[in-house]
Amino acid sequence: VIMGNIMGPHGNHARLASLMAGIPIEAGATTLDRQCGSGSQAIVNAALNIMTGNGDVFVACGVEHMTLNPYQMEKPTAAYSWAPPKFLAGKFSTPEIGDPVMPITADTLAARHNISRLECDEWALISHQRAAVAIKSGVFKDQIVPIEVKTKAGMKVVDTDECVRYDISLEAMQKLRPMYEGGVTTAANSCPRSDGGGALVMMSEDRAKALGLKPLASVRSFGVAGVDPNIMGYGPVPSTQKALKRAGLTVKDLGVIEMNEAFAGQFIPCMKDLNFDPAKVNPNGGAIAMGHPLGGTGAVLATKLIYEMIAKNQQFGLVTMCIGGGQGMATIFELY
């Protein structure tokens, strides 16, 4: 079991989840952290292990429980101190290079590419509208495993993404103040904090045949690239270019594209510079509508992508995302 996770409170979440799921004790498990690309890295690590003969069956997964993630605070300098705790923010870069908060990196990227506030809000509207249509038409029915959650009102079955706004309007979004003066990023055109996860069973072709299973897709190539942390949201561009080159493909070969919507201000420049057809990108809505559970997003997007490739009979598809600290990751899948 290989799991992507960033902020969880436990030790080696992959092992804990493996034991809770009843996977044989003899199976190893490891948890990794490539920030927003962690779920994708779990998939790639599983593929590389299979390709090199270091295992033939893996669960590649990712998860984030952002509503219950622990806070970090400084250790008191004196015993029985009455001073209030000082909470710590995570570091993603060095002071010399610059380590701005994520919304500012999106504003910087939008400014450099002349992306307007209106463009950002328009894409956010599209994301919600597409997600709403997909949910109502049952697109995600076969992709989501329902779970029971205990609430004050009793047991509740959770089987639908909860962040989607079905009645959102461009007019309402335009009334919101930007997070930072002069910027384009608002709460409406950013991904919401969310809980979620995804998992894929991966194995060698020979093992699948021996078990009588038909694979859905295979990993064709991947790419990881570093970018200036001040514009960390630009990571999908160089990483996608690497993945395409390694696969011997062009953008035109991609039938479906899932690119994480961290912020519309960073998403739109990437979509434009990669010459993506907007109709192919996040056809069933993106993170602005459905949330971005950090370590889980890569696995979630891969699941959405593969099911959409099957539905539309598209041979190649791409999952890509920006990564905190100034990286990007891209993975190309091929329909089996």
Using CB atoms within 10 A of its CB, is residue 17 exposed (0-12), middle (13-18) or buried (19+)? buried
Distances from the Cα of 243 to the Cα of 214, 220, 246, 314, angstroms? 25, 9, 5, 18
Q: Active-site positions?
A: 36, 292, 322
Sign of CA dihedral 115, 101, 229, 31: negative
CA distance 245 to 253: 12
Q: Which of 101, 314, 322, 102 is nearest to 216 (CA)?
A: 314
DSSP reduced 3-state for 210? helix
In the Cβ-directed half-sphere of 117, how many Cα atoms lie within 13 Å?
A: 18
